[in-house]
Every structure is written in C-alpha cells, then in structure tokens.
Amino acid sequence: MPAGALALVLLAGLIHACWNIAAKKAGGDIRFAFFTTAIVIVAWGPLGLWLAWRHVPGWGATEWTLVAASALLHCGYYLFLLRGYRKADLTVVYPLARGSGPLLSSMAAVLLLGEQISALGAFGIAGVVGGVFLVAGGPALWHRSHEPEARRRLRKGMVYGLLTGAFIAAYTVVDGYAVKIVLISPILVDYMGAVLRIFVLAPSVARDLPTARSHWRVQWKYALFVAIVSPVSYVLVLYAMQSAPLSHVAPAREVSMLFAALIGGQLLGEGDRWLRLVGAACIAAGVMALAVG
C-alpha cells in the first residue's frame, strides 16, 4: 500500500473511532441519523454543491445507480449500527462490525474486482481480524454468555454487529467501484449519497415531530460533531482506494479499533484494557503487513 494511502487510512481510523464513540454516547435512532445527515448537507453544502454543479450534469445511469445504491446501503449500515449501540455494548457491536466488514469486502474485491492478495497481505487481514476479536473481549465473550442479561446483550450485539458488517462490506465494494472504476469524485459519492439519504429518513421523522424535537434538544451536540467529522473520515478512505487495492484499504481501516481501544476504554470506562491493548497491537501489525504487502 502506498505511504500516502496508509497515512489517509490512519487519519481516517482516528476520526472514525471518535465519531463512533460520540454516536454511542448519543444513544440515537433513525432521528439521530436524520439529524446528522441534514447537518452534513448544510455544513458541506458549499463544497458538495460546487462539485455537483461541475460534474453531476454529465452523470449517466451508471453513476446515479451507484450513488443511489451507496445511499441505501449507508442508511442500512447507520441504522443497524445505532440500534446495536442502543441494544448492546459498543465493545461487541463495533469490533464485530469492523472485523466482519473488511473480511467480506476483501473477498468481494478479489472475486468481483479481480484484485489479488499476497501471503503477507493475507497475514495482515488475519492480524486485523484477530485483533478485533481481542479488542471485543476475546475469550471473555463466551464467559459473559453464562449470565442471562449478559447473554441477551451479547447475542444482540453479535447479530447487529454482523449485520452492520455486511452493510459495511456492501457499501465499501460499491463505493470502491464508483471511485476506482467509474472515477466519481469521492466527495461527491459521499455528499450526493447524503442528499439521497435524507429523502429515505425524512418520512419516519416527520410522522412524530414532537418526539424528534425532544431528541434534537438532547442530541444536537453529538449530531453536529458526527456530521462534521464523519464525512472527512470516509472521504479520506475513498481517496485511499483510488491509489491502493480495496482489499488492502478495507482491512487497514480497522486501525480505528486501535484508537477505539485506547480512547473508548478511557471515556466509556470499559475493562480488560490489557487484552484490548494486545488486540490493538495485532491490528497495528496487521495494518503494517497490509502496507508492506
């Protein structure tokens, strides 16, 4: 992986971990997804609309299909992620989502986009996935399953984490194809996707405006933070995809788990820090193997 692409992925990972912690603390649902999407459209409007004015008139069916598919997949990803955060622990949902997503997207990149993975690259993917498992709690995950309430939360966390990971893999492949093959601007993929997502989210919010207003009063600070920084994180990843194989970039994104282990453990008061630090080290080694391979 080129050094420039690796630098983009590392920065994106730090930003991604931070906004996921904010989303967890917000405890939001589809209304929170609507708030963040609306703020993205407004806050990033000058840049997004300028690029749209220059490029969107030349789009055909392929470009619109890819952006529409991306918008729907990102909606599913965000809604399952938020629901998982409400129903289970971040340290189960987030690692499973981030660990299963790159595995599936790397497989898809090899099968659908014709990419190849070297032995060192395969070792890097294994390091990332193994590290994600340790950050999630490692063998302690199974011990926790003996307590009824812990078992219920663990089961829900695993379900929502894996579903979220499937959406991550799907939108990664779609967006990777859009920026690498069709050569759509990464900024436009993200911004036009947000414009389309608002139409998907708005009807559910409009059905109960008083509840939406009460949620806004509590969650607006978190929504503002997520909306400002999350597009930066993903656009950096899309730019990295333009110069590096998707099968390397997707797993390398999981360096965010390293930052989540260090930052989240402190902010959310989570235990097993030494185990999570070992997992974070495995992720770091895996990312470096991907960079070299």
pLDDT at 266 over 70: no
From residue 203, alpha-carbon distances to 24, 42, 208, 291 in Å are: 24, 19, 9, 44
pLDDT at 36 over 70: yes
For 162-209, the pLDDT digits (tens) are 888 889 888 888 998 999 899 999 999 999 999 999 999 999 899 999
What's the farthest any 2 CA atoms get from each other in the chain? Answer: 58
For 123-175, the pLDDT digits (tens) are 777 777 777 777 666 666 556 555 666 667 777 877 888 888 889 888 888 99
The pLDDT, as a whole number, for residue 120 is 77
From residue 249, alpha-carbon distances to 65, 69, 125, 237 in Å are: 23, 21, 10, 7
For residues 20-49, average pLDDT:
90
Query: Domain residues of the chain, as ranges?
Result: 3-292
Tokens standing for 41? 């459209």
Residue with tokens 């391979």: 293
Q: What is the DSSP string of 269-289?
A: T-S-HHHHHHHHHHHHHHHHH
pLDDT at 95 over 90: no
Q: Where do the H-state alpha helices sit in the chain?
A: 3-26, 30-43, 45-55, 61-87, 90-112, 119-135, 140-144, 148-180, 186-206, 209-243, 246-252, 256-259, 265-267, 273-292
Share of the chain above pLDDT 70, in %: 75
From residue 282, alpha-carbon distances to 75, 105, 140, 178, 285 in Å are: 31, 20, 18, 31, 5
Share of the chain above pLDDT 90, in %: 33
